[in-house]
Structure 1
Amino acid sequence: MNFEFLQQATSRELEQFKSVCNQLLSRTYVVRTLYRPGKGRVNNPDYTFLSRNFEAVQEYLGLLDWDLRHDDLNGYYYVVNTDEANRCNLNKKETAILLALRLLYEDNQDRLGLEQDAVCTVRDVLEKVVTDYAILPSKPNMAEVKRALTLLENHSIIQRIEGKFNQSSCKFAILPTILTAVSGEKLNAVVSVLRKEEADEEAEEDSAD
């Protein structure tokens, strides 16, 4: 690794270097803009730092078997473990909610602004899960919804704008990072699997009756 950056960086730059690396390892993504109450979308200084010091961060994370990548069009950096380790495992309902977010993002792509965020509510997500695509047979309870959405916010897939995740009126932005988290091919495959599982479970229940 070229240690030139670390040798020449100021103490403030070193602190930001550590902060950005830890953020990538814990949250997967660093996005170009962030929502701030009263200000709307603002530039993310960590994204700007990565734009200036991409090679130094990439080389450092590479030593830890992480590959730093950049989606310039949609405005985010993200890491992928080259050993396919340290994956975030979701349960069935969390997976269904993630898929619903991806479907909502796809529905809104033609109307997205420059920031590439799709704004929706918890109610929109639940309707997509149960009514529009029938990924699940019934709505998850609000505690499960809050837990799933909090997890996804912690990984920079969504960002809350107003309200709480256990309220149907809660408004949040689906970030473009959803495109990497769930590709179009993976979306169709997983939705089919979930629907088949639900159909099989219903068939077993009918047989038991």
Structure 2
Amino acid sequence: MNIGEAFHNLRNQEKEDFIRVANRLLSTTFITRKNEQNKKDYYFLERHYELMREYFSLSGWELIHDRPLGVFQLVNTYGFNREKLKMEESIILLIIRLCYEEKKRTELSLAENVLLTTRDIQERYLALKIREKPLDRKVIRETINMLKRYNILQNLDSDPADPDCRLEIFPSLLLAVRVEDIKELYDKLAAYGSGESGIPSGGEEPA
């Protein structure tokens, strides 16, 4: 059965969901069942994975399903449509990834997602001596809002720049920033502290 026939055989509601979920993936890159707002779309993708995968492949996209993490990721096979992060955005993303890894290793919790605060990010930034001044509040706010759009995290309090703002980190972060160990994260952050510019190798681009 070809893609056209398979789509035609869907119920009307499923066709509407197919179009909505496809467009959502194109705009967010990640859909995770660990985000309550994503669960309906995540399970739709599970049920129709082969059809969605073939549909995206026609235009140069690969739909990846990491079942243990509970994450779908859409990747352009030609390297297009990728978010080019500014230096401070890359630093914040790497710090969040570092904090995520350390909390997963040291805290005994049944919660699937990791909780951080904006203060955690600022304190780690200063402790690593990347720059002498704290991160600008506007940069923090804009970066967290950008990562929220990609389903990498969500802020549980209104202002992401508030030091006490709680951030719920989703496992899609592990696909956005792929590293082998904590040392690699420290090395990447040290590269920024030494004045190197640009995004280090390793894929800190979430889309």
TM-score (norm 1): 0.84
- State the 1:184 CA deviation: 1.5
Matches within 5 A, 1:11-160: 11-35=12-36, 44-110=39-105, 111=107, 113=109, 116-131=112-127, 133-160=128-155
Cα gap change, 1:136 to 1:152, in 2 (>3 Å)? farther
In the alignment, which of 179, 184, 187 is matched to residue 185 of structure 2?
187
Contact 2:34 2:113 (C-alpha < 8 Å) held by counterparts: no
SS at 2:116 equivalent = strand
- State the 1:114 CA deviation: 5.4
Contact 1:153 1:159 (C-alpha < 8 Å) held by counterparts: yes
In the other structure, the counterpart of 1:204 is: none
Instruction: Tell me the distance in 2 between the aligned counterparts of 1:136 and 1:179.
Output: 26
CA deviation vs aligned residue, 1:183-204 (integer Å, no higher than 9, x gap)? 1256355323212217xxxxxx
- State the 1:78 CA deviation: 0.4
Contact 2:97 2:174 (C-alpha < 8 Å) held by counterparts: yes
Contact 1:163 1:171 (C-alpha < 8 Å) held by counterparts: no
Count how many residue pairs are aligned between Structure 1 and Structure 2. 191
Contact 1:158 1:175 (C-alpha < 8 Å) held by counterparts: yes
| Higher RCO (CA 8 Å, separation ≥ 6 residues) | 2
Structure 1 residue runs of 4 or more that deviate by more than 4 Å after TM superposition: 112-115
More strand as a share of residues: 1
Q: Which has the larger radius of gyration?
A: 1
**Structure 2 runs not aligned, ≥5 long:** 197-207
TM-score (norm 2): 0.85
SS at 1:184 equivalent = coil
CA deviation vs aligned residue, 1:25-58 (integer Å, no higher than 9, x gap)? 111100013247xxxxxx7100010010000110
More helix as a share of residues: 1
- Aligned letter for 1:20? V
Q: How much is the aligned-residue C-alpha RMSD, in angstroms? A: 1.9
**Structure 1 runs not aligned, ≥5 long:** 37-42, 199-209
Instruction: Tell me the distance in 1 between the aligned counterparts of 2:4 and 2:167.
Output: 40
